[in-house]
Amino acid sequence: MKGTEPVTRSEIVRCAYRRFNDKDFDGVLELCDPDIELRDLLTADGRAYGREAVRQRFIERFLDATVHVTVADVVEMGYKVIAVACSQVYDSAGDPVGPTVVATDHFSFRGDRILRVETTESRELPNEIRAVLLGTPVSTDT
């Protein structure tokens, strides 16, 4: 990477979040290895493998919603980068859905490309967030 492109792994991660917030999913994927693996907190299997599968996941998730991620901190630890991020989901009208979700994203790299993103969240995602991102009705079961 050259010019104004990110040069450290922390900068690559921050750039990926900026592009994600701009819904520049192709721009995010440019920072990723072709064998990217993404762990999704919303579904049981939770994983997408390869750039095309990740692109499809982004497109499906964000047809009727927007997610804005605010990065609290990014730390490089060996070959990994760990980011603490706060995400707010908005519906198609631009109204916030559910509470802000704080998660930790663990990025692994192959060279200067993101190879794997593992997201961990300390609690279950609220049903209203699942509903808007998955396009399903909110369950009233407790």
Domains of the chain: 9-134 (3.10.450.50)
Q: Are 77 and 48 in contact (CB under 8 A)?
A: no
Global model pTM greater than 0.85: no
Q: What is the pLDDT of residue 2?
A: 43
Alpha helices in the chain (DSSP H): 9-21, 25-30, 51-61, 127-134
pLDDT digits (tens, 9 = 90+) for 37-67: 998 776 666 789 999 999 998 888 888 889 8
How far apart CA 17 and CA 36 sit, in angstroms, is 16
